[in-house]
Amino acid sequence: MAPRRKKIYEGKAKILYEGPEPGTLIQYFKDDATAFNAQKKAVFEGKGVLNNRLSEYFMTGLGNVGVPTHFIRTLNMREQLIRQVEIIPLEVIVRNFAAGSIAKRLGLEEGLALPRPVVEYSYKNDALGDPMVSEEYIVAFGWANQQDLDDIVALALRVNDFLSGVFYAVGIKLIDFKIEIGRVWDGDFMRLIVADEISPDSCRLWDVKTGQKLDKDVFRRDLGSLTDAYTEVARRLGVLPTNATAMAKPTLIN
């Protein structure tokens, strides 16, 4: 059970609570999965534990190569301490290979290598089904200015290079992913940092050899056990939670 404290926001897969210090929040990872704008819903025991660990792993790795993120530290199996940010209401999507909506929109075969990484944006609005928007829309409606957009593209491409390498090293192709960007202020100076989460909920991950899907498409397309797929990703990366009470079998202590 989540401890009793002030809830700031509850989304489909995570809850944000007030943090211990000003400017911090606690991010709690739920086991809930949704797809197609929450028309399809299920609960996968242990998913939150896996995503908490995986997001910690990717955010820490990004921090180590100089990409700023909201991650501060892991608190427990399902919670991490993060910097409070002002979320830019965009889903920033980077695609290396055709899949999902771009395959449908342009009639491309899934798995086709794109000529170069492609960055696109959706406006975060569940009531509208997160419609795709252009840079022109983003600037015109004031969600971000042109300088912000230049910074967002630079961040997104650095995240893409980092994640592509990390996954390829363990036999996984990063087909595409989504990140969210937040604003933080140091005095008058505003910076953009990677926020939200990076996990198999927000990436497409295919086994390099077999093409097996190891991401939320397993749930979207009813391809098997989502927990097994995420566990395989964590196992390959060497970050399988060891004492995950949600998943561990009882062990005899002598």
Give me the residues that bind ligand TMP (CB under 6 A), please.
91, 93, 99-102, 130, 176-178, 202-204
Smallest distance, ligand TMP to C-beta of residue 141, A: 19
| C-alpha to C-alpha distances, 135 to 7, 75, 120, nearest whole angstrom | 33, 37, 9
Our CB check for ligand TMP shows the closer of 19 and 70 to be: 70
Nearer residue to ligand TMP within complex by CB, 54 or 93: 93
Which residue is listed with tokens 């492609």? 118
> Smallest distance from the beta carbon of 104 to ligand TMP, in angstroms?
8
Question: Residue 242 CB, nearest distance to ligand TMP (Å)?
Answer: 27
Query: CB of 167: closest distance to ligand TMP in angstroms?
Result: 12
Indicate the residue among 101 and 212 with the shorter CB distance to ligand TMP.
101
Distance CA 244, CA 78 (A): 10
Q: Which is nearer to ligand TMP, 99 or 159 (CB)?
A: 99
Distance in angstroms (rounded) separating the CA atoms of residues 17 and 4: 9
Query: In the complex, what is the shortest distance from the CB of residue 102 to ligand TMP, in angstroms, rounded to a whole number?
Result: 6
| 175 backbone dihedrals φ, ψ, rounded to 5° | -75, -50
First-residue to last-residue Cα distance in the chain: 29
**DSSP output for 94-140:** EEEE--HHHHHHHTPPTTPEEEEEEEEEEE--GGGT--EE-HHHHHH
User: Which residue's CB is nearer to ligand TMP, number 19 or number 215?
Assistant: 215
In 14-92, where does DSSP find H-type helix?
47-64
